[in-house]
Amino acid sequence: MAKTSSKTAVNKKISKELLRRVKKTLKHVYAPYSGISVSAALYCSSGNIYTGCNVENSSYSLTMCAERVALFKAVSEGEKDFLLLLLHSPDIDSILPCGACLQVYSELASEIVITTVNAKDEFRFYPIKTLLAQPFRLKK
């Protein structure tokens, strides 16, 4: 039980740094269609943090969510072990990833904990398997 408590304490400490970064990243959002700003910070086992923001397009299917931007930046830099993702939106309290983002994360970061924060800067932690219990998988 002490192991879980110390892990939660570490997650909270890391989450505070991630929150600082996501708030800074909000200035880069491009959301003229939805009007909803979202930013994300991804913490890797290497200690590196990658941020992302939503980038919309008039062809909605070409829009990129903040959490996928952060993940793809990390993967493109050689990261392979992802521990914690923090999502933040000043427009939606405690925002969670969409289904497409959950599917991508389930493949590339199947053990990640997704963190969301409300307007009072209170954190909630969700293992990805609680948000997407049955991800799509190709048979190998």
Active site (catalytic) residues: 67
Cα separation, 6 vs 54, in Å, equals 32
Cα separation, 138 vs 109, in Å, equals 16
Tell me the pairing of strands 49-53 and 82-88. unpaired
